[in-house]
Each structure stands twice: as C-alpha cells, then as structure tokens.
Amino acid sequence: MAGSGPRVGVLALQGDVREHLAVLRGLGADAVPVRRPAELDDVAGLVIPGGESTVVDKLSRAFGLREPLVSRITGGMPVYGTCAGLIMLSDRVTDAIAGQQTLGGLDVTVRRNAFGNQNDSFETDLDIPELGDPAVHAVFIRAPAVTETGPDVVILAALDDGRIVAVEQGNLLGTAFHPEVTGEDRFHRRFLQRVAG
C-alpha cells in the first residue's frame, strides 16, 4: 500500500532494496523502486542501498541512469546512501577498480572494504548526538570508511579508532553501515525530513 507521504525511490539495481522500501513505507512514505530514468523523474528523494559499488556503477550506466542521477544530485535532490550507496555518493575512492565511477556529491574520500571481507563483518553501538538517544546499533558488512572530508561535510559518527562511518553534506546523507537491517529508522527519518523540507 502506498504511503500518504512524499514519493521517494530506492535505487533498485542491486542490494538490499526490499529492506529500505519496507523502512520508508513504515514511516509513511510512498516508496517505489527506481530502475529507469522515467522512474527517477517521479521521485522527490532517493535511497541508494548497499550492495557492490562496482556493480551498481556498471548497472547505472547500462540502464541509462548515471547522467540523470548526477543531474538530480547536483540539482539538490535529497539522497541517502548506505554502504555501497555511500561509495556511490563520494567524490573520491582510494581503492576503486579500474574504470569505476561514482555519482559524487559528497566531498569525501572513501576506502572500499575498509574493514576487510565478509568474515570481518561486525556490529557496534554508535553515539550520534544529532539522532539523540539511544545509541545506533550499527551493522558493518564489507563496509567502506570515510578517510577524508571536505570543509562542508558534517561528521555524524566515527568509530573509537577514528574511522568515519556517517556523514552528511547539504542534501546528501551517507552511512557505512546498514540501519535498514536492524530496525533503526532515524537515518531514514532524517532523509525524509530533507525531502519534506
């Protein structure tokens, strides 16, 4: 059933699309999968889910979505990227594979698989003052980390070792972890507030 809230999209090329759609719909949004430029035209905001950033990059080009996505991001559309989505929103990737492109918009440098492979996945609690209490229970699965930020980037969360795992800049929000798998909806709420604003 469609929500009565704003129509927002989840980039449905790969990754945990269903989980993001469920969180957004649970918050009252009219959330739809986006695979084509025409579907992108129809949404006021977009979530780019986790998955494999190299695959999302290739598929976005194959589906003719790359240029429309860059245009909408540059134009101020609110976008929330988780894990691979954070990589896609980053201006710079230190360990990109040959030919890999991002959509850009976040003035950050990220490192792919910063915490190792699938076996090195972990969970931890993050205190994020902007979200209030309780702490965010964060799940990291082959996650990236932000290694450098530009002057306009707000750091929302970092691990005890200093590695940055949540950032925002203007209309863009990015997390290295997966709130959609733990029932954590405050990042999605923050994203929807930007869409409504």
CATH 3.40.50.880, applies to 7-196: yes
pLDDT in tens, 33-81: 999 999 999 999 999 999 899 999 999 999 999 999 999 999 999 999 9
* pLDDT number for residue 2: 55
Note if 83 is an active site residue: yes
| Residue of 19, 20, 168, 180 with catalytic role | 180
| Residue of 83, 168, 184, 188 with catalytic role | 83
Is 99 exposed, middle or buried, given 0-12, 13-18 or 19+ CB atoms closer than 10 A? exposed
Tell me which residue of 8, 74, 18 sits closest to 43, measured CA to CA: 8
Pair 6, 195: CB distance under 8 Å? yes
Q: What is the rounded average pLDDT of the residues 165-169?
A: 97
* pLDDT number for residue 6: 84
Delimit the domains of the chain by residue range.
7-196
The mean pLDDT value of the chain amounts to 93
What's the predicted TM-score (pTM) here? 0.94
pLDDT in tens, 92-119: 999 888 899 999 999 999 998 888 766 6
Note if 180 is an active site residue: yes
Kindly report the number of other CB atoms within 10 A of residue 119's CB atom. Answer: 6
Note if 148 is an active site residue: no
* pLDDT number for residue 183: 87
| Residue of 20, 168, 178, 184 with catalytic role | 178
Tell me the CA distances in angstroms from 101 to 19, 48, 61, 137, 170, one per residue in order: 25, 15, 10, 30, 22
* pLDDT number for residue 35: 96
Whether 1 has a pLDDT exceeding 50, the answer reads no
3-class state of residue 22 by DSSP? helix
